[in-house]
Amino acid sequence: MKGTMRGVVKTAAGEGHLEIKELPIPQIGPNDILVKVHAAAICGTDQHIRDWHPWAQKRMTPPATIGHEFSGEVVEIGDAVTSVKVGDRVSSESHIACNTCQTCRAGHRHVCPNTRIVGVNHPGGGGFAEYVSIPEEIAFVYNDESMPWEQLALMEPFGVVVHGVMASQVAAKTVAIIGAGPLGAMGVLAAKAAGAARVIVVEPNEARAQASLARGADYIVDPVKTDPVQVMKELTDGIGPHVAIDFSGSIPGLTAAVQYLRPEGLLTSVAHPSKPFTFDLTEFAYKGCSIKGIAGRKMYETWEDIRGLLQGGIDLSSIISHELPLEKFAEGMGYMDRGESCKVILHP
């Protein structure tokens, strides 16, 4: 497809430098598809790019179109594409693995050391644009038209959540969810859908805490007004939860979790703190506890878990708090900066 489009571009290195620009529509190769974007969600990674955090500095070479959480309609396919057709409704995996390294060949493409990322260093552009080109293999086709574009745009972050929940084997367990921001909010829904016996949410923001109860959480722990270790023990007959899943990256939250986990408990790290934290590994080890790190989504097992949860009726509508035109991306990031939003959706 020829022509131009609008997109949000990181125009230069350094803090800021995000602008709406007129760009050429990405051209596709034989194994690619062109997607007309209907909805895109703002992620914390997009804020890291705006603020030029070290993570972005290591991976990006501006100018680059950003955005990696999106949904849209396939409008063009490459000559070698066989599993996707024009007109399909798709979301997308954001990671593009090399498929040739030892890690990929061992079945661990989600942690491929050569990964490229849509909206970061992928030459096909990003989702904060009217069109984006992606490889056929990372398209998640979901043609159920009862799923709104806005919710379909959440599949990438929802996949991170589902990966964390499924890896934690929460069925019939007491589960602590640390943080009730967008990921933690989806974590409550996913844990309940996966059969968790009780979900205890650790969250100081009153609005987010109350929203968690509406989503099915059984208890709320305010870690500012109370001692979360003491309260967690009180809620679990003195022994602690089976699993703690961190969606906050909070060092105090993680520090408390390693103390209140029951013997043989599991700490799952979905969000990641911005700096190292220390804890008593000896005590943790003597309890027989474990830590599991989560990176993205298993490719592509997690996507099929997502499909099953969607078909089972999980409802993500409450995760969306704001919808804005693409031109107001900065306003949307502002809501996120101030903790006034859950997921913010942009419409190109």
Residues designated catalytic: 45, 48
If you ran DSSP here, which 8-state letter would residue 27 be given?
A: P
Q: Give the Cα separation of 213 and 282 in Å (integer).
A: 35
Q: Give the Cα separation of 134 and 125 in Å (integer).
A: 8
| H helix intervals, the chain | 44-51, 54-59, 102-105, 149-152, 155-167, 182-193, 206-214, 228-235, 251-260, 281-286, 301-311, 329-337
Q: Give the Cα separation of 248 and 225 in Å (integer).
A: 18
Task: Give the E-state strand segments of the chain in sequence order.
Answer: 4-10, 18-24, 32-41, 64-65, 69-77, 89-92, 95-96, 116-117, 131-135, 139-141, 174-178, 198-202, 219-221, 243-246, 266-269, 290-293, 320-325, 343-347
